Structure 1
């Protein structure tokens, strides 16, 4: 068996997605997700100009060697564009291997470690009351864990809430440029502990709660927030601070016992190595699409397990159903799986382009047994949804200083 052709598709059934299809000379094909939100076409160019020509006529079963070839053989290693391109190829090759073997990918990884995949949903709101009402709705749906994000009074737009417009695409429909949102650390710090206090008073402590800071605090500010949230027993505080300087997480760890999660913008294990070894985090949130594929994520999970770090893959709506399915296979296998971020199964438009083997019931994601990843991409339907240039927002402090979004 040889790789005969590799196609790259870009479609926008609600969000932009970059899909890779690796086709063999025996007609078996595999799919991968190469989406980097806001930089999609950079990945397309990387694939079409630099990756695809190198893989024609190679044996698709040599997954490890091809991964090493695309990573070590480039010299210019790492980075989101490179690793998303590698990830898409890697997912597609695992998909092919599963189809040839007649087995779902999780069986090739070593089989199941659990029957269901614990998922957490997003309860958002423009007011504290709306957010808490939405939390109640998630509890009624059977969720065992829920993330709480609420608009901060006095700030016009906050991460996780977008006022009357619920999609970043809507903010860029006339002239695609990064939307700008204001930020005030003091207003945020004065508000968030009360949100969780009221959540516990209203719903008790059985439901697991999560909050995403989105890297907007310095380490000592994050330490203070973690301390304030300790009485409310969070499952974890996500992206408390940027981890460009990983030593900053030692400051946070020294001051709070609130569990910490990070990693959705990490691309390799080296981004997390010190955080894992020093045990300054509890959950690693790297996504398969952005972390180089299933091959390195399996190794990352094994490494993290030695330091009691659990896997909690990023599950944003800018990852395609191919990535979500890959996460499901990975999560079923990973002995140190923790929880999966879950934003639902998309719209009718999205599901007309992608079909997937996932379902949700009583707090758990379930995976239908199909060979490979179990996802199909409708090329004809994808052509109906043209790419639309768009960006994620940026944040400025109230004095105009650019800050972390």
Structure 2
């Protein structure tokens, strides 16, 4: 019986944490356990879980390991613990797939699609020049885009700030035409007092969805916001378990959920969340502004979920300075985007091969933290 014999953690640019787990029979599994800007905290949680629950154990019973990591502690949930569990879970599934010589999607019942639609980010944190950027991405073959709606946004904003946000969406729509989808991310920057007004004003430009129109701690406001717009509502990147998603689905106003495979408990948990959502006729669009391991894990789940709508991916995103998704892959062609789609990885495990030499060379103390923004009066703004 194989045993888990060793593990290593690598902080790599631009802001990722990779986990490598090795077994007694020479297999290696990779995961991506990270909270962007809190890599050191997640590293400590991974080390604690590996040392207390996994070293010396058979890697194959992935579901049981998940339960031990989650239920083996009196205090549960939250971004740090669930992200640590997520990355370990990804690595265990990678090991299991390699043991059977099959991609994870085959172990989950087999894929329901051959390829997955993806979208490409345009603009930046403070969106600018979005028209030209959108046109360039469409020229590259992408049929769906996403952009931030606003920079900092006050609780009650003046009409010019609202009009500036509307003008950015209008500009993109006019440049790319009606056959390209545009996701608009409120990023939790818009208070509920303005979310209704802004969402309603965007309706004429037919967004694919408005994302995180309010912070998840204010999800009770979603029915009121939904009543002011015909645009689908998406949220979920800052929710970490099926129990977080349960009341959201019961509300009946969300159209797209966006759990993150590196934050919401990994493959094991997100597959369950996706199945719950399907019962409520809610689509799945996993959040993934992260690295190649997280993206591969997303695509394995997308492949087996009929309600998977579209996949975020971070190639060329404004966060990726110095390193990008393909840099860490032995075969970058596994993520060869074509006509707005990517084929499902069909290699064993997660379906990718990490270039360990590149990981070793670039690993170090990567001290990335999101900026702290402030309003004109000096108070902290939502980033």
TM-score (norm 1): 0.86
**TM-aligned CA deviation for residue 114 of structure 1:** 1.4
Pair 1:35-2:34 in alignment: yes
Per the alignment, do residues 394 and 230 of structure 1 end up closer, same or farther by CA in structure 2, a change over 3 Å counting? same
Range moving further from structure 2, 44-53 or 267-276 = 44-53
- Runs (5+) with no aligned partner, structure 2: none
**TM-aligned CA deviation for residue 336 of structure 1:** 0.4
Q: For 1:147, what is the secondary structure of its paired residue?
A: strand
Partners of 2:271 and 2:207 lie apart in 1 by 27
Q: Check the 8 A contact 1:87/1:289 in 2, yes or no.
A: yes
The partner residue of 2:308 within 318, 337, 355 is: 337
Partners of 1:221 and 1:93 lie apart in 2 by 43
Q: Could you list the per-position Cα deviations for residues 45-79 of structure 1 after superposition, in whole angstroms to 9, with x for gaps in the alignment?
A: 12223433321232211111110010011111001
**TM-aligned CA deviation for residue 358 of structure 1:** 2.1
Work out the number of aligned pairs and report it: 373
Residue of structure 1 equivalent to 2:293: 322
Partners of 1:251 and 1:267 lie apart in 2 by 24
Residue of structure 2 equivalent to 1:256: 229
Q: Check the 8 A contact 2:235/2:258 in 1, yes or no.
A: yes
Residue of structure 1 equivalent to 2:170: 197
Partners of 1:334 and 1:83 lie apart in 2 by 22
- 1:3-402 equivalences under 5 Å are 3-12=3-12, 14-124=13-123, 130-149=129-148, 158=151, 183-184=153-154, 185-186=157-158, 187-316=160-289, 319-344=290-315, 349-350=323-324, 351-355=326-330, 357-385=334-362, 386-402=364-380
Partners of 1:53 and 1:191 lie apart in 2 by 52
Q: Could you list the per-position Cα deviations for residues 130-156 of structure 1 after superposition, in whole angstroms to 9, with x for gaps in the alignment?
A: 311111111112211111347x6xxxx
TM-score (norm 2): 0.90
Q: Check the 8 A contact 2:120/2:142 in 1, yes or no.
A: yes
**TM-aligned CA deviation for residue 126 of structure 1:** 10
Partners of 1:137 and 1:74 lie apart in 2 by 49
Per the alignment, do residues 52 and 145 of structure 1 end up closer, same or farther by CA in structure 2, a change over 3 Å counting? same
Q: Check the 8 A contact 2:300/2:345 in 1, yes or no.
A: no
Q: For 2:261, what is the secondary structure of its paired residue?
A: coil
Q: For 1:335, what is the secondary structure of its paired residue?
A: coil
